[in-house]
Chains A and B, each alone.
Chain A
Amino acid sequence: MDKTLNNKAWFLVLPVLVVVAFSAIIPLMTVVNYSVNDTFGNNEFFWVGLEWFEEMVTSDRLHEALGRQILFSAIILAIEVPLGIFIALNMPKKGFWASLCLVLMALPLLIPFNVVGTIWQIFGRVDIGLLGHTLAALGIDYNYTNDPLDAWITVIVMDVWHWTSLVALLCYAGLQSIAQPYYQAAKIDQASRWAVFRYIELPKMKGVLLIAVLLRFMDSFMIYTEPFVVTGGGPGNSTTFLSIDLVKMAVGQFDLGPAAAFSIMYFLVILLVSWVFYTVMTNLDRQEAK
């Protein structure tokens, strides 16, 4: 039988195209427009080609922010993933306590970002904050507004507090899907606790862990609100991450051209790293299946 060729079906895709165009493509194109033009307001644009990109690629300021950003993401991943797994392993599996744990774990995830920032901003203050004041009373010299290390610790602890739940809940879901006979077989085979984790739990959690790592990487790489509320990027530039720097550049200094070039590169970096993560992890999977 001959196939009927009818290209009219493409019209059915049109509504989606229109929605996506207005919500994503056109706004992105304005950014592209800014990145290759210079403007002095009044909607007058002067073509500058790739100048802004060159400026940004060689800018020390951007390099430093990128370095801080990578360090930040690396640290919180290194803490939140193992900690999340550990918590998930130790949560009760069923009954009242399991429900209670789930609710408690979900609480930090429900708090708006700027509220999290405000909570920690006050919590850490030496004069009125519970944490800051207690540390000071214990004789520990802690001040996140002066000391870059203290500022980093505060921002990282805050992120761990806010987001470890996500990793833990995902892992918990992964653990719950493991059928009882696996554990029973391990008992029969006299597997140690470590072997149960290494050969049963970890392999079964791999899928959700991939999602958790990806989500936490993307989120932490784009982090803005919480550190901005707590430290404002300071002291100095010590906690100025990429997003904070970008906003300073675009809204503070009104350097729209460089900021546009910056954000396009920023977007591409996140896209690239996420793609690398995903490809590496799915390839690992395929190799194991062989």
Chain B
Amino acid sequence: MAQITLKNLAHSYLANPGKDSDYALKEMDHVWQDGGAYALLGSSGCGKTTLLNIISGLLRPSQGRVLFGNSDVTDSATAERNIAQVFQFPVVYDTMTVRDNLAFPLRNRGMDAKYIAARVQQIAQMIGMENILSRKAQGLTADAKQKISLGRGMVREDVNAILFDEPLTVIDPHMKWELRTQLKQLHRQFGHTMIYVTHDQTEALTFADKVVVMYDGRVVQMGTPQELFETPAHTFVGYFIGSPGMNLFDAQVEGNRAHLQGASVTLGAAYGPIKGRTQIGIRPEYAVLTRGEGLPVKIIRVEDVGRHRLVRAEVAGQPLNIVAPEGMEVSADMTHVSFAPQKINVYADDWRVQGSAA
């Protein structure tokens, strides 16, 4: 097990990349702590799988180094890196039995037969397949096959890291929950570094200690679920995390006030002059309808989504979502909306600006 360091890493699928847009992964520097549970979150095509394949050694990066602990493994083959990876679609060896499938990585490393038998039994128990160990893998359902893939990923105890590439896509929803909980348990038990790629924020937020959000080939934020929610470093994080995402308004910021087309709101911090496109962001959870305080608002419709109501509205010509928790009043005479000043984030050209105490 080792800490994984990415140094000036970038990757392009083209032979001679020139422009910034030629790169599938833009240059990045990151350290993945040993034993951490990470979720790699982002929309399709943002470079998640590319990054994963670079860490596991299936791809060689166009530039930069990959370090495991203190040793440089950039040019090492997958086998030498001793890494486990589970893919999006089940990969099983059809002609082998479930038992042989699970034992395969251990046998290839020349492990002792007794140890293999014991370890396979243990893993089978974990994925609930002890009673079908002797069956051929071919006729099994996609669920079962993916569980075998997961089992094969976890069967080696000494791996440096286990990488999951959207492993639960083909699994039934109720099963997803169960498997994710098991993965979490395994992580606590064995302390492997785990990197879990997904585009499902629930999956990411429940699995990981730290969530890494990627956007357009860049890691835009690496933080705890709490940090991602409260202080998104990039407007994409604000938009991607949360349901619905953060509200963003074009505004002019002066000191601790932001001006939106004639109206103005108080911010929780003071800001110096900001260059570029300036926006303020507020989570729908921190916007409250009032009878006169705050900005004038035009309510378009109210959706009842069960635990809370979702108010679709418009402020200064721009759309606004408000989450009204159960018990909070929503009525026709509520014509204004107020934002909690501490919860407002300010963005310049999509990146968060740190304010100083007001």
Residue numbers of A with Cβ under 8 A of B are 179, 181-182, 184-185, 187-192, 195, 199-200, 203-204, 288-290
Interface string of B81-96 (1 = CB under 8 A from A): 0011101110101111
Q: Contact: A190 with B79, CB < 8 Å?
A: yes
Of the candidates B83, B95, B96, B139, which one forms a contact with A188 in the assembled complex, judged by CB atoms under 8 Å apart?
B83
Q: Contact: A190 with B138, CB < 8 Å?
A: no
Residues B207-236 near A (CB distance < 8 A)? none
Residue numbers of B with Cβ under 8 A of A are 53, 56-58, 77-79, 83-85, 87-89, 91, 93-96, 104-105, 108-109, 135-136, 138-139, 149, 152
Q: Contact: B96 with A190, CB < 8 Å?
A: no
Give the distance to chain A from B167, nearest Cβ to Cβ, in Å. 11
The residues of A that contact B138 with a CB separation of less than 8 Å are 288-289
Q: Contact: B56 with A190, CB < 8 Å?
A: no
Known: A189-B108, A288-B138. A184 touches B85 (CB 8 A): yes
Q: Contact: A288 with B95, CB < 8 Å?
A: yes
For the complex, give the distance between the alpha carbons of A288 and B138 in Å: 7
The residues of A that contact B135 with a CB separation of less than 8 Å are 290
For the complex, give the distance between the alpha carbons of A288 and B135 in Å: 9
The residues of B that contact A182 with a CB separation of less than 8 Å are 91
The residues of B that contact A203 with a CB separation of less than 8 Å are 93-95
A–B complex contacts, Cβ < 8 Å, 7 sampled: A188-B58, A189-B104, A189-B108, A189-B152, A199-B95, A290-B135, A290-B136
The residues of B that contact A190 with a CB separation of less than 8 Å are 78-79, 105, 108-109
For the complex, give the distance between the alpha carbons of A195 and B95 in Å: 12
Q: Contact: A188 with B136, CB < 8 Å?
A: no
Known: A190-B109, A192-B108, A203-B94. A288 touches B85 (CB 8 A): no
The residues of A that contact B104 with a CB separation of less than 8 Å are 189, 191, 199
Give the distance to chain A from B269, nearest Cβ to Cβ, in Å. 47
Q: Contact: A185 with B91, CB < 8 Å?
A: yes
Known: A181-B89, A184-B85, A289-B139. A199 touches B105 (CB 8 A): no
Q: Contact: B93 with A200, CB < 8 Å?
A: yes
For the complex, give the distance between the alpha carbons of A244 and B208 in Å: 74
For the complex, give the distance between the alpha carbons of A289 and B149 in Å: 18
Q: What 3 A-B pairs come out closest when comparing CB atoms?
A: A185-B91, A289-B139, A181-B87
The residues of B that contact A187 with a CB separation of less than 8 Å are 57-58, 77-79
The residues of A that contact B149 with a CB separation of less than 8 Å are 185
Give the distance to chain A from B200, nearest Cβ to Cβ, in Å. 20
